[in-house]
Amino acid sequence: MNETKIEVQKLNAWFKTTHALKDVSLTVPKNTVLAIIGPSGCGKSTFVRCLNRMHELVPGARQSGKVLVDGQDLHARRVDPVDLRRRVGMVFQRPNPFPTMSIFDNVVAGLRLNGIRGNYDEQVEKSLRQAALWDEVKDRLQHSALSLSGGQQQRLCIARSLAIEPEVLLMDEPASALDPIATAKIEELIHDLRATLTIVIVTHNMQQAARVSDATAFFYLGELVEHGPTEEIFTNPREPRTEDYVTGKFG
């Protein structure tokens, strides 16, 4: 087993009075993909948003427990959420490129924000290649990001996240708004990115979880019901609730 990249201990999260996550503990080894599955409203998104401290931006949101990345507690007082989010990137459910910027400017947006200098042309090419988008856009980098299709926009957002070279990439249902072909491209990408990154992906598509992940965690009503190697979760789950969900009895 690889060394531990993310360790979550007794994580609880609330929105005002709603208890969205209950005592969740799990670990993610380095350079692996963890899939989070579960029905809507089970706390999947809240969970990943706790991993880069986006959860606390919602008015009325609270949390308790520990999240450690490389052994360092994210909520320690000296951890600046702004620095943290540079190390833990995020891709959202709907593609959200900056609409007034060109493709090029979208990719370097994070570099500019973090004051990273260097050869932007090279970095743009590298990030777009990593996101499997380079060949489609190399001749129109100055076009608006909105000139791309939805699937291309999502890969642009992935390239934008990759440009600042994060250690962890959180993906919140990155393919739910995309067609099957675009989805397949994103899944391929996740396979390749594992070499350099640790990935946590939320999905409510169980085939997707089975295809892309090394480990799977099943959430239900804010609780972590079961967490284990993906194959086990899908073929031989310990919990009856997990079995009911992965076999499609509810969801």
Partner 1 sequence: MVLTVLGAAVLVVAAVIVAELLRVGGPSLAQTGLWSFVKNSVWDVTRDVYGALPFIYGTLVTSGVALLLALPVSVGLALFLTEMAPPRVRSIVSFPISLLAGIPSVVYGLWGLFVLVPLLRRPVEPLLARTHLPIFTGAPIGLGYLAAGIVLAIMILPTITSIAIEVLRTVPGSLREAALALGATRWEAIRTAVLPYARTGIIGATMLGLGRALGETMAVTMVIGNSPTIRASLFAPGYTLPAVIANEFAEASGAQQTGALAALGLLLFAVTVLLNIAARLLVRAVRRGPARVAA
Q: Which residues bind to partner 1, rule: CB under 8 A? A: 52, 54, 57, 59, 82-83, 85-86, 89-90, 92, 94, 96-103, 105, 109-110, 112-114, 142-146, 157, 160-161, 164
Q: How many CB atoms lie within 10 A of CB 13?
A: 24
Specify the residue, 52 or 213, whose C-beta has the smaller distance to partner 1: 52
* One-character DSSP codes across 12-34: EEEETTEEEEEEEEEEEETT-EE
The answer to whether the CB of 169 falls within 8 A of the CB of 198 is: yes
Please state the φ and ψ torsions of residue 110, each to the nearest 5 degrees: -70, -35
Q: How far is the CB of 214 from partner 1 (least distance, A)?
A: 24
Cα dihedral sign for 124, 126, 130, 132? positive
Total H helices, total E strands in the chain? 10, 10
Terminal CA-CA length for the chain: 32
Q: How far is the CB of 112 from partner 1 (least distance, A)?
A: 8
Specify the residue, 9 or 93, whose C-beta has the smaller distance to partner 1: 93
Q: How far is the CB of 90 from partner 1 (least distance, A)?
A: 4
Specify the residue, 37 or 103, whose C-beta has the smaller distance to partner 1: 103
Specify the residue, 12 or 102, whose C-beta has the smaller distance to partner 1: 102
Q: How far is the CB of 81 from partner 1 (least distance, A)?
A: 9
Q: Say how far apart CA 14 and CA 21 lie, in whole Å.
A: 7
Q: How far is the CB of 91 from partner 1 (least distance, A)?
A: 8
Q: Which H or E element spans position 44?
A: helix 44-51
Q: How far is the CB of 100 from partner 1 (least distance, A)?
A: 4
Specify the residue, 8 or 157, whose C-beta has the smaller distance to partner 1: 157
Specify the residue, 26 or 177, whose C-beta has the smaller distance to partner 1: 177
Q: Say how far apart CA 106 and CA 144 lie, in whole Å.
A: 9
